[in-house]
Structure 1
């Protein structure tokens, strides 16, 4: 994963936070996708900036996690929500 990439939320996705977790609804497919507390924080940061480096840096500062583990977890979530059509990941500079 390239941290210089940007993430754009699909305009067809509605999100609602419920008790610290987020439920996403894709209006095109009518599928729901649930995010836990950390996934919710990632979603919030994507909404705020869309810049993966900023998302990564903020999460690294907020959570006690090894940098490599955070990178793996972030990549996994982004792969999942991109495959579900909830976001588009734009290529960044290498």
Structure 2
């Protein structure tokens, strides 16, 4: 996985906002996920194909976080989503 890799959401997920955090139910694997506030923001950025680098830039505009920390956390979150089959690499 590199910062230039592009990912997007897969179909089959039901999303709900609960007190500023996103929660999701995957119809495919029958699991619930609490994405949290920032995870929900990342999820929204994946509605259209987006690179890790693009997501980091967009998140830095919204949150007070340095580039390296943001990049590391986005990559970890994307890896989890990909492992769970919730997103696909384009």
Query: Normalization by structure 1: what TM-score?
Result: 0.84
TM superposition outliers: structure 1 runs of 4+ over 6 Å: none
- 2:77 is the counterpart of 1:85: no
Aligned to 2:11: 11
CA distance in 2, matches of 1:54, 1:79: 16
- 2:32 is the counterpart of 1:36: no
**Structure 2 unaligned residues grouped into runs of 5+:** none
Aligned to 1:50: 49
CA RMSD of aligned residues (A): 1.3
Query: Normalization by structure 2: what TM-score?
Result: 0.88
For these two proteins, the number of residue pairs brought into alignment is 89
Q: Is the contact between residue 12 and residue 27 of structure 1 (CA under 8 Å) also seen in structure 2?
A: yes
